[in-house]
Amino acid sequence: MSEAETTGSISNICIGNAQRKLKETPSGLILVPRPSGNYLVDDSVIAGPQNRNTTTIGRDEELLSQVATLGETWQHMCKGEFESLKAIYSVPPYFAPKSHAWRKYARNGTGNVDTYFLLAEFRDVGQQPTDPVKLVTRLAGMHQRSVSPPGKFDFHISTCHAKITQVVNSWEESWCVLYTKHLGHVMGLAKPILQWPKFDVVCKLTLEKVVPRLLLPLQSDDRVLKPSIPHGDCWDGNTAMDMKTSEAFVFDVCSFYGHKE
């Protein structure tokens, strides 16, 4: 068998000349990369916190700016993430980066489409994904200590899960009612894509029978269900360990006040 051929055995996997030169796994100190050079910053970012969508920025604070040219979609995403980060950050010990501002660039992007940015605290990533024990400990703490301003489920604005707008723009006493709205919205987006008649039947049964049977008992017979602020999209890629504090933190949030589970 030639070196170029493999049979599925690890011993037969071909390696290149670059790999052959490595006698052992590198173990030296890896230096943290530092930015350098000149960058073009839009006038809206330079202007800093000068409107109602901002908070005070410290003199020596490092900042991270997320930018995208998606018109109204990114405007919705920026505003939703800004408010979600602010809600999570308000629950000590600051499980998410502090959000400072969001708004439109002074100049348009490619194709004359509006460009929007989100300005937040920069945190050095020390490990990703984060330590699971530290992650769930801080998640549980956030769920326990967070308080919905009106004591209800939902959020004061609509947020986005990636590019998908969530049905979050009113306050509900019932978790079952809000969850039904959320699930019904997602089902409505899926129906034109699937174009499967039986899917419509499944959706109807789920919303009218399954969801009420599972969720209504949570708040019946004087049972109390506390609205909590969740991350909204908590998976490995949206978690990390802070290099400076060695604590878990989260980002890319799309939150609302819902069931903590």
For residue 225, tell me if it sits in a domain: yes
* pLDDT over 70 at 58, yes or no: no
**Domain assignment of residue 30, yes or no:** no
Instruction: Read off the pLDDT of residues 193-209 as tens digits, 9 standing for 90 and up.
Output: 988 889 999 999 999 99
Q: What is the mean pLDDT of the chain?
A: 81
Higher-confidence residue of 68 and 119: namely 119
Predicted local confidence at residue 56, as pLDDT: 46
For residue 157, tell me if it sits in a domain. yes
Asked if the model's pLDDT at residue 11 lies above 80, the reply is no
More confident residue, 22 or 5: 22
Q: Which domain holds residue 76?
A: 61-250
Backbone angles phi, psi at 97, to 5 degrees: -60, 150
pLDDT value at residue 102: 86
Indicate the pairing of strand 248-250 with strand 239-242.
antiparallel
Residue 20 confidence (pLDDT) above 70: no
pLDDT of residue 139: 93
DSSP the chain: --TT---S-GGG----HHHHT--S---SPPPPP---S-----HHHHT-S-STT-----TT--EEEEEE--THHHHHHHHHHHHHHHHHHTSTTT-SPPEEEEEE-SS--GGG---EEEEEE---EEESSPPHHHHHHHHHHHHHH---TTSSEE-SS--EETTEEPS-SSEES-HHHHHHHHHHHHHHHHHHHH--HHHHHHHHHIIIIIHHHHHGGGGSTT-----B---SS-SGGGEEEETTT--EEE-S----BB---
Residue at 261 is within a domain: no
18 falls within a domain: no
pLDDT at 50: 46
pLDDT of residue 228 exceeding 90: yes
pLDDT tens digits for 31-56? 766 766 665 666 666 565 544 444 44
Q: Which pLDDT score is estimated for 256? A: 94
- pLDDT, tens only, 89-138: 999 888 999 998 888 877 765 556 788 888 889 988 888 889 999 999 99
Q: What pLDDT is attached to residue 19?
A: 55
Residue 83: the pLDDT is 94
More confident residue, 31 or 17: 31
Q: What's residue 1's pLDDT?
A: 44
CATH number reported for the structural domain that contains residue 197 in this entry = 3.90.1200
pLDDT per position as a tens digit, 136-168? 999 999 999 999 999 999 999 889 888 888 887
In-domain check, residue 10: no
Average pLDDT of the residues in 60-78: 72
**Dist. CA 229–CA 258, nearest whole Å:** 6
Task: Determine, yes or no, domain membership for 14.
Answer: no
Count of domains observed in the chain: 1
Answer yes or no: is 258 within a domain: no
